[in-house]
Amino acid sequence: MATDEGIPQAEFFPSLSLSLSLSLSLIVSVVSSRVCFKQTMGQALGCVQVDQSTVAIKEHFGRFAEVLEPGCHCLPWCLGYQVAGELSLRVQQLDVRCETKTKDNVFVNVVASIQYRAVADNASDAFYKLSNTKGQIQAYVFDVIRASVPKMELDSAFEQKNDIAKAVEEELEKAMSAYGYEIVQTLIVDIEPDINVKRAMNEINAAARMRVAANEKAEAEKILQIKRAEGEAESKYLSGLGIARQRQAIVDGLRDSVLAFSENVPGTTAKDIMDMVLVTQYFDTMKEIGASSKSSAVFIPHGPGAVRDVAAQIREGLLQAGSVQH
């Protein structure tokens, strides 16, 4: 496959990439040269430019003269004036990771973020008094954290992160103000225990939650059993009421039958009527046993003598019950 000019595509694109790279390098070199040229020309003409949020340190024959604010300033180099350097007034951030031990002998990594900036009114102190600002701040952070965290247990260290941050900020503010720096904010962004400690803490929390879940489940089962027992008791109570009413209805029916039979058939006694009722009930019972598909084999004495025996047993039971009541 070829382009319109007949150049193979495999050779065309690498050449284009090389050309773009050379062009970008040339542009960067030209811009850098122009900046250097402007700075050189500004110094040669005795003028200097200070950018916004930046101050410059002006010296006269190597001695501090004044702090130059943002803007254009006349700086006659022939009279011994020069710019010793520039100082940014922007807020800067330093992340410090400190390893220490808690009161319960757990090693943790405490990560602190320090936000600081140079004070414009004390720019000369910030420029001349400190050669390594970040190293100085880091040393103070180490000192405060390693003095505070060993007094706390691991759980307390997590709960009192703000107290640790406040102690670090107070110590830094007191120390760095003498060097022309202001501590804007101090944050304890993380406390990282060892991975094995993390796993143990998670297992403890999981066990505690499982214990709570087991208690709740047992309580729910207890409530279910209580409600089930109450339901069974209520069911048995109602069943007993139904049986009592059924028996009362049977007794009332038998009494009415005996009275009606005695009135309609002269010469019959109550004993004859009860024997006849018992025989009728006996045959009804036999019929129900034979008609039920789920009934088991039942062996009972059958015959007129058996009916007489059953009637005698029932009668004796009723008489005994009546004598006990009297």
Task: List the chain residues with pLDDT less than 70.
Answer: 1-45, 267-268, 270-273, 275, 282, 292-326
Q: What is the structure's pLDDT at 110?
A: 93
Q: Which pLDDT score is estimated for 169?
A: 92
- pTM of the entire structure? 0.52
Closest CA to 166 of 146, 192, 144, 182: 144
Rounded Cα gap, residues 65 and 83, in angstroms: 10
Q: Max alpha carbon distance in the chain (Å)?
A: 162
pLDDT tens figures, 88-105: 999 999 999 999 999 988
Query: How far is Cα 57 from Cα 66, in angstroms, rounded to an integer?
Result: 6
CA pair distance 148, 144, nearest whole angstrom: 6
What is the per-residue pLDDT for 36? 45
DSSP string, 85-152: EEEE-S-EEEEEEEEEE-TTS-EEEEEEEEEEEE-GGGHHHHHHS-S-HHHHHHHHHHHHHHHHGGGS
What's the pLDDT at 308? 63
Separation of first and last alpha carbons in the chain: 126
The identity of residue 128, as a single letter, is Y
Give the CA-trace dihedral at 19, 22, 27, 31, to 10 degrees: 180
Q: For position 164, what pLDDT does the model report?
A: 92
DSSP state of 2: B
**pLDDT value of residue 138:** 93
In this structure, the chain runs to a length of 326
DSSP 296: P
Q: How far apart are CA 291 and CA 199, in angstroms?
A: 71
| CA distances from residue 155 to 105, 138, 193, 204 in whole angstroms, order as listed | 12, 25, 11, 13
The backbone torsions φ and ψ at residue 303, rounded to the nearest 5 degrees and listed phi first, read: 140, 170
Query: What pLDDT, on a 0 to 100 scale, did the predictor assign at position 199?
Result: 82
Q: 120 burial class (0-12, 13-18, 19+ CB within 10 angstroms)? A: middle
Find out whether 284 and 310 touch, Cβ atoms under 8 Å. Answer: no
Alpha carbon distance 27, 127 (integer Å):
34
**Nearest by Cα to 88 from 59, 47, 53:** 53
Answer for the pair 87, 55: CB distance below 8 angstroms, yes or no: yes
Do residues 301 and 313 lie in contact, with contact meaning Cβ atoms separated by under 8 Å? no
Q: List the one residue out of 159, 154, 88 whose CA is nearest residue 119.
A: 88
Contact 56, 83 (CB under 8 A): yes
CA distances from 268 to 216, 279, 307 (A): 72, 16, 19
- Compute CA distances 189 → 102, 183, 238, whole Å: 17, 16, 69
